[in-house]
Structure 1
């Protein structure tokens, strides 16, 4: 693919200028995508804003097919909870340009939650799975943008891996533009976020946080959440700054308290609690 050069700079700056000029209008995210495409070409893109207390907010996408659009809706409704970007945000991810594989936990592919959240395992996919309907065989470059209220915007830029994916040089080109991209988006978001209606009901993240609340100690709940999200004992040890032996003790204790004996049974217990909570929130007829 074409590599960004100084000769491309005037056209790219013109696109960024147009994005800045319309930053108070709904078309601003699309204008920003057009500008980014001048720097690092991609085939498809989508953008959401992650929040700690609710499902992501949809910003924009360039998907053409109805199936892909439905996959994005499914992602926002449920499978986002597995996404490395979302979980990195919960862990304190800051603004930056990242390959999505840089953000994955070490035991990501072993998480049994995959089997229950309407996703399909694919060995040829970058993350090892794909939400049904999501375009196949893509490599993702992530543009992460912090917002003043503590949310995190994600622009996911995808292109076919078989065409070479993203080189280090491409990523460096985008990093040079990162401050400008972030400034334009934050100005857009300052106006756009006012029009979003807060969703009612508990988010999946809240359901994760409340799982085992009446049974487990706070530390055991932290360990359980990390197990569910695909972290190994070694990764949990590093995240919580405790020894691996302590992690294993917590795992044994929480299994005993929840009446489970395997990781898959833990996933089933979580799903049961999630469905029970969601059913309780349904309005009575």
Structure 2
């Protein structure tokens, strides 16, 4: 079929209307959610999370998501507490850094035998996770993760996703570049190192903030003592003071407090924002 015949198909005309709406709003805060809504028309999914990773740090920054508040504990607080260290996605980010689409499910990795599955992934009740990796700077990547509860993605869905990868890349790179220029007070600076360093700055001493930063990165008391060249007992005293000042009792609650400072509000879909494609 000739290109002009393909472009005249009603399904393609409708899809072009979706594209026009996305490009028209690519610099708006709601772009990731609008993009997720549009993608549901060719690859089914129940959730989306847009994350930014600074290479060299395993902790992401959550840029946008549609996870309801009552699910934040399963999705974010447990993840920030320790699960992130075992995330299979990190291997791809550490050793590759190129743009790609990867799947994380029981068939694509030894998920069910892993600590990541037992302590985190199982409670999300997902059958499939598709991660779209988008390098945006020499040492920085965006990852758009979509989760499915109704089975793994079919080959034709993944093929369509690969075909529109350049579109997703263009939209999200422009979106991210605009946010970086604006220096939005809520989401910037986007370095996870800066966020960790500033956490608790109004309540904690410099040393306490330093110890808190290592705790949030999963370091135990002995490791922190070795890194700071102080005794383990001194670290324990600081930990008690940190907990008291921040009003928490456990390391998980500390991570929850940190997560609450970096999570944006969930995206609420609105069918009026993006034209609907009736191609499937």
**TM-score interval (norm. to shorter):** 0.5 to 0.7
Deviation, 1:109, is 6.5
Aligned to 1:79: 83
Q: Which runs of 4+ in 1 moved over 6 A?
A: 102-106, 108-111, 280-285
Q: Do the aligned partners of 1:48 and 1:60 also contact (CA within 8 Å) in 2?
A: yes
Question: Alpha-carbon deviations, 1:28-75, whole Å to 9, x = none?
Answer: 1111112222221211121211112443111111222x2322333322
Deviation, 1:273, is 4.2
Change in 2 beyond 3 A, CA 1:94/1:43 = same
Q: What SS class does the counterpart of residue 191 from structure 1 fall into?
A: helix
Please give the alpha-carbon distance, in whole angstroms, between the structure 1 residues aligned to 2:143 and 2:72.
Answer: 17
Change in 2 beyond 3 A, CA 1:11/1:44 = farther
Aligned to 1:139: 128
1:135-214 correspondence runs (5 A): 135-160=124-149, 163-193=150-180, 194-195=183-184, 196-197=188-189, 198-201=194-197
How high is the TM-score relative to the length of structure 2? 0.59
Q: Do the aligned partners of 1:46 and 1:157 also contact (CA within 8 Å) in 2?
A: yes
How high is the TM-score relative to the length of structure 1? 0.58
**2:100 equivalent to 1:96:** yes
Change in 2 beyond 3 A, CA 1:12/1:77 = farther
Please give the alpha-carbon distance, in whole angstroms, between the structure 1 residues aligned to 2:32 and 2:87.
Answer: 22
**CA RMSD for the aligned pairs?**
3.6
Q: Do the aligned partners of 1:139 and 1:158 also contact (CA within 8 Å) in 2?
A: yes
Aligned length: 201
Which residues of structure 2 form unaligned runs of 5+? 1-8, 198-209, 229-234, 246-280
Q: Do the aligned partners of 2:126 and 2:147 also contact (CA within 8 Å) in 1?
A: no
Question: Alpha-carbon deviations, 1:85-123, whole Å to 9, x = none?
Answer: 1231011231111112599777x7666xx4xxxx661xx
Change in 2 beyond 3 A, CA 1:137/1:27 = closer
Change in 2 beyond 3 A, CA 1:272/1:7 = farther
Change in 2 beyond 3 A, CA 1:184/1:104 = same
Q: Do the aligned partners of 2:74 and 2:120 also contact (CA within 8 Å) in 1?
A: no
Aligned to 1:59: 63
Deviation, 1:171, is 0.4
Q: What SS class does the counterpart of residue 130 from structure 1 fall into?
A: helix
Q: What SS class does the counterpart of residue 142 from structure 2 fall into?
A: strand
Q: Do the aligned partners of 1:58 and 1:76 also contact (CA within 8 Å) in 2?
A: no
Higher relative contact order (CA 8 A, sep 6+): 2
